[in-house]
Amino acid sequence: MTKLCVFPNDPLESYFKKGEIKMRYFNPKNLFSEIHVISLFDSDTIPENVKELAGTANLKIHVMGKTNLLNVRFKLNEVTNLIKKINPDVIRSFNPLLQGWVATKVGKNLGIPIIISLMGDYDRDLRYYAKKNRRWRDYLKLKYSKYVLEKFSIKNADEIIIIYEFIRKYAEDLGAKKINLIYNKVDLSKFSPDITPKIVEKKPIIICVGRLMKEKNQECLIHAIKNLDVILLLVGNGPLYSELVGLVEKLDLKQKVRFERSIPNNEINEYYTSAKIFALPIKYGGFAIPALEAAASGIPVILPNQKSNSKPEIIEDFAMLVENTSKAFENAIKEVLSNDLLRDSMIKRGLNTVKSINGDLMEQKEKELYLKVISKN
């Protein structure tokens, strides 16, 4: 019987509410028979709601209570005792922050191998934007996190997973010993150009899927479509929802901009195939998983041209990269809509790219990594 302990980024309740429950996300190729989720939050959902994450494994969720920098050392003892009883083969954390620090401390204390995922370059993303936006309290916490939490987690983990090549330098700078590039998984069985569209409109739909927050920069798209004869569909929820709704009203664009705050992941393909273009003027390094989902659904993708040291190598294989301004996105949208040859080429390249990194291949790589650390223990 193989067991895995997982430290997720957020309560599983949030994934359930957003409809982001992906089959076997915690259990590649159904390698494990038991999945134990260590939830460092006050509450969480019931296993029945998110059982697909564990595949065929028996899923258990252990709610440990809200954990922060003030009580983490007390919680560490509680988590250590719990994991000692579970006796897992591997511990996995989906970040190197508080969850990663606790996971690594426990793993080292109990002699259990630890795998940590890095979803971004925390210098390039979190710390850079906290400083730029003058969120000094957040910035100081993140600086503390770098040298106390992240450095310890990354340096002492048995294996590190990066989802983009550009993250490698950040991981190496903080002492990572073994780094594995495994791209975000896209289940091609759920994303296809052949899915019947959910929405049929005379005007072309531009779709943007992502949390409504400053770093996802949906405001840029709202301004970009102001003079275009299109419909902008913003899918996602977040702290900027009211502000973005207010901006749409202020610009008198209520007939052009629509909001869908939550769509289950198993239905989102119908919205992608309703659209002519996917666009996301994201400020963070890399790109969000919806860009891959959109490409797999057979629509062109427009993304910002980022700093050279944070550009994932696969972006250039399928996406149109533009300056991260409203005018640049406006011009790009017009170009793609008016040029059938360009549009067809972008669609073809997108489909070929996602096939080369499809979820089945990435899932197998993840399984093999687990088996490697288990065999060494």
Residues in a beta bridge with 59: 35
Domain range 205-356, its CATH number among 3.90.1150.10, 3.60.40.10, 3.40.50.2000, 3.30.70.20: 3.40.50.2000
Our measurement of the distance from residue 155's CA atom to the centroid of its chain's CA atoms, rounded to an integer in Å, reads 23
- What is the torsion angle, in degrees rounded to the nearest 10, for the CA atoms of residue 221, residue 138, residue 14 and residue 364? 80
Domains 3-186+359-376 and 205-356 belong to one CATH topology: yes
| Residue 310 pLDDT | 52
Question: What predicted TM-score, i.e. pTM, was given to this entire model?
Answer: 0.82
Mean per-residue pLDDT of the chain? 91
Write down the residue that tokens 């040298």 correspond to. Answer: 147
Q: Which helix (H) or strand (E) holds 76?
A: helix 72-86
**CATH code assigned to 3-186+359-376:** 3.40.50.2000
- CA dist 237 and 259 (Å) reads 9
**Domain-wise residue ranges, the chain:** 3-186+359-376, 205-356
| Residue 241 pLDDT | 95
Residues of the chain with pLDDT under 70: 286-287, 307-313
Cα torsion angle, 235, 212, 207, 186, sign = negative
